């Protein structure tokens, strides 16, 4: 239970940090912000690796893990690459 409270504290503080950070992003970067944060949400890859890589679990778990790894990797690779592509176009003359 102690750990849960700590996780909850982390969650709530991160939400406040998020508000402080995101409100400072200018509208001109809102699309890269969406694709960039999307890549960050691909952090689920960490959870996916744990599910796909466990030994003792039934077949169904490994299959779900494989799907999770695939989805999350698309998110991570696709998200960072497309964000990088967009951001490198934002140049000052």
Partner 1 sequence: MSSSIVNLVYLFAGVLFILGIKGLTKPSTAVRGNMLSAIGMLVAVVITLLNSEVVNFTYIIAGVLFGGAVGAFMALRIQMTSMPQMVALLNGFGGGASLTIASAEYFSVLNVEAQSFADLLAPVALDANAFGLGAEGQVTLVSIGLTILIGAVTLTGSLVAFAKLQGLIKKNFGLPGGPVGNALLFIGALAALVCIVINPSQAVTVLALVALALLLGLFLVLPIGGADMPVVIALLNSYSGLAAALAGFILGNTVLIVAGSLVGTSGLILTKIMCVAMNRSLGNVLFGKMAATGEVVDADEIYAGKVTSAQPDEVAMMLEVAKRVVIVPGYGMAMAQAQHAVRELADSIESRGIEVEYGIHPVAGRMPGHMNVLLAEAEVPYDKLVEMDRINPTFEETDVVIVIGANDVTNPMAREAEGSPIYGMPILNVDKARNVVVIKRSLSPGFAGLPNPLFAMDHTLMVYGDGKKAVVEMTTALNQN
Question: Which residues in the 22-41 window bind partner 1 by CB under 8 A?
Answer: 22-41
Q: Name residues contacting partner 1, limited to 49-78 (CB under 8 A).
A: 49-55, 57-78
Residue in this structure with the two tokens 């940090």, named with its chain if needed: 17
| Count of residues of this chain found to bind partner 1 when the rule CB under 8 A is applied | 83
Determine the Cα–Cα distance for residues 69 and 46; give it in Å rounded to an integer: 9
Residue 20: CB minimum distance to partner 1, A: 9
| CB-facing half-sphere around the CA of 60: CA atoms within 13 A | 0
Helix axes 30-41 and 79-87, enclosed angle (nearest 10):
160
Residue 9: CB minimum distance to partner 1, A: 10
Q: Name residues contacting partner 1, limited to 5-24 (CB under 8 A).
A: 7, 10-11, 14-15, 17-19, 21-24
């Amino acid at each position: 239970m102690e750990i849960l409270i700590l996780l909850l504290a982390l969650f709530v503080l991160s939400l406040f940090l998020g508000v402080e950070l995101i409100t400072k992003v200018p509208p001109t970067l809102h699309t890269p912000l969406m694709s960039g944060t999307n890549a960050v949400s691909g952090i689920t890859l960490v959870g996916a690796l744990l599910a796909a890589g466990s030994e003792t679990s039934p077949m169904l778990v490994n299959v779900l893990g494989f799907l999770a790894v695939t989805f999350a990797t698309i998110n991570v690779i696709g998200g960072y690459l497309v964000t990088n592509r967009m951001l490198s176009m934002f140049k000052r003359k």
